[in-house]
Amino acid sequence: MKNHLVRTHRSAENFPREEHLAWRIAEVAADPVAVVPEVEEMIVNRIIDNAAVAAASLTRGPVSTARAQALTHPYTPGATVFGAEGRFSPEWAAWANGVAVRELDFHDTFLAAEYSHPGDNIPSILAVAQHTGRDGRDLIRGLATGYEIQVDLVRSICLHEHKIDHVAHLGPSAAAGIGTLLGLDVETIYQAIGQALHTTTATRQSRKGEISSWKAYAPAFAGKMAVEAVDRALRGEGAPSPIWEGEDGVIAWLLGGPGKEYSVPLPGPGEPKRGILDTYTKQHSAEYQSQAPIDLARRLRDRVGDLSQIASIVLHTSHHTHVVIGTGSGDPQKFDPAASRETLDHSVMYIFAVALQDGTWHHERSYAPERARRPDTIALWNKISTAEDPEWTRRYHSNDPNEKAFGARAEVTLKSGEVIVDELAVADAHPLGARPFAREQYIAKFRTLAEGVIEPAEQDRFLAVVQRAGELSADDLSELTFTVSPDVLARAPRAPKGLF
């Protein structure tokens, strides 16, 4: 890996295009380096993971709405949409599938200077692959790039510090991945990356206060914009440049300002793209910083015993967890029993209370309105707070994968005055956790979430196809989806008709 120093440059400076971050990324995307077997193995795992969470969310309102929009844009050759027959315009297929993948906040994650869900790259890159007649080998190469660029940007450039939503790293990574998929030249990829970044920067209000369905739509929008950016770049249209480093660019006005310098690691020429191997998926349908606390709560149940005897619980954790999903956010909605699922998903106090009471976590039952409004849950929920611990913050930002942690130390004070303390650094499903996810666990997750949605025979067909993704022909690539019966789709809410 080579570190590239990135800062604002005045328009009058001599700043060659070849030194722009977007150009450096485009060079990585255009590098024909082979994908190593362990990366290909993990890419297949993540395609399975995305399909699993898409199946579980298929009949939810936001997913149904996005699918309805996509279905009004049939296209030949086009791309597939989860749950639907036929082919559709690739940017709209990316949109619908992106919302389905993101709705439950249940797929993979990477946390560093910024946080991200790198699996959000898959819908747009797969849609373009199907539409353009690429084969499985091309798809694997494109996805390796999408993950690599996402991970490298997330390692080095913090967005949330400046209240910019994390999908600002997704537009460029998806555009780069599509560039690799299509074998585009550096110049074309460079222009697509610039356009994708320019059109996908937005504030973090989508993840603050009363969180709406736009949280699921935001990454799908970034993927859709990436597809459109590549289309325009192929037609010879350019982008604002230098997009990151310009005098009125992203760094100068949206991030650290003219005095800030970022060091962005990127693979050198001929160096394999291994970024996906540093990412991890979720066993539980909740914000990633909640994964270890859920497992910790389940572990504490027997030690605590009678939960009515709890006087208070303090979760000592990282700054990020404290201010994003903890009491450091200052969001009263995080204690509101009538809050949306999206808001409860971003309340570690609610999540810890339910996991402590139930000893488990379920993507639907744990968020049900009747579950959130149980009087004993509300009482326990309001006894829980978070506090930043500098050591947990340091470990959260550590570059050492053996030390990096996203967990917490729980201090449970009973009414008797007894204090019960336990901690967990990483979730059980993490690569360093008690039960790391491998192919078997990804398939089990798919089977669990597909139950009652995808017929068993269709589950078998999809799993057989996806596990040989790198060998698929262009015609076979259309099989990387699933269909469901009309009865399943009938369970989805019917949204009012829009413009299309």
Q: What is the 3-state secondary structure (H, E, C) of 172-196?
A: HHHHHHHHHHHCCCHHHHHHHHHHH
Measured distance CA(45)–CA(2) in Å, rounded? 28
Least Cα distance to 407 among 270, 265, 291 occurs for 291
| Distances in whole angstroms, Cα of residue 46 to Cα of each of 62, 308, 331, 352, 462 | 22, 41, 33, 27, 14
Q: Categorize the per-residue pLDDT at 207 as very low, low, confident or very high, splitting at 50, 70 and 90.
A: confident
Residue 89 has pLDDT above 80, yes or no: yes
Residue 399 has pLDDT above 80, yes or no: no
| 34 alpha-carbon distance from chain centroid | 25
Name the residue type at position 200. Answer: T
Is the distance from CB of 500 to CB of 73 less than 8 angstroms? yes
Is the distance from CB of 371 to CB of 365 less than 8 angstroms? yes
Q: What is the pLDDT of residue 40?
A: 98
Residue 211 has pLDDT above 80, yes or no: no
393, 395, 400, 405: CA torsion to nearest 10:
-110
50-79 per-position pLDDT tens digit:
999 999 999 999 999 999 999 999 999 999
Is the backbone peptide bond immediately before 90 cis, with ω within 30 degrees of 0?
no
Residues 41-52: what's their mean pLDDT? 98
Q: What is the pLDDT of residue 398?
A: 87
Residues 7-17: what's their mean pLDDT? 96
pTM: 0.91
Measured distance CA(434)–CA(426) in Å, rounded? 9
Residue 212 has pLDDT above 90, yes or no: no
Measured distance CA(70)–CA(93) in Å, rounded? 6
Is the distance from CB of 426 to CB of 292 less than 8 angstroms? yes
Q: Categorize the per-residue pLDDT at 228 as very low, low, confident or very high, splitting at 50, 70 and 90.
A: very high
**Sign of the alpha-carbon torsion through 236, 237, 240, 245:** negative
Looking at every residue in the chain, the average pLDDT score rounds to 96
Is the distance from CB of 242 to CB of 69 less than 8 angstroms? no
Residues 453-474: what's their mean pLDDT? 98
Q: What is the pLDDT of residue 421?
A: 98
Measured distance CA(253)–CA(1) in Å, rounded? 28
* Strand partners of residue 412: 313, 420
Is the distance from CB of 233 to CB of 26 less than 8 angstroms? no
**Poorest-pLDDT segment among 113-117, 130-134, 252-256:** 113-117
Q: What is the pLDDT of residue 213?
A: 87
Residues 408-432: what's their mean pLDDT? 97
Q: Categorize the per-residue pLDDT at 402 as very low, low, confident or very high, splitting at 50, 70 and 90.
A: confident
Reading the block at residue 92, the tokens are 């709209």
Measured distance CA(115)–CA(278) in Å, rounded? 13
- Residues whose CB falls within 8 Å of the CB of residue 286, separated by 6 or more in sequence, listed in order: 105, 294, 345, 351, 361
Q: What is the pLDDT of residue 105?
A: 87
* Strands 384-388 vs 310-317: parallel, antiparallel or unpaired: parallel
Residues 334-346: what's their mean pLDDT? 93
Residue 249 has pLDDT above 80, yes or no: yes
Measured distance CA(347)–CA(428) in Å, rounded? 20
* Strand partners of residue 98: none
Q: What is the pLDDT of residue 495?
A: 81
Is the distance from CB of 493 to CB of 64 less than 8 angstroms? yes
Q: What is the pLDDT of residue 401?
A: 79
* Strands 419-424 vs 408-414: parallel, antiparallel or unpaired: antiparallel
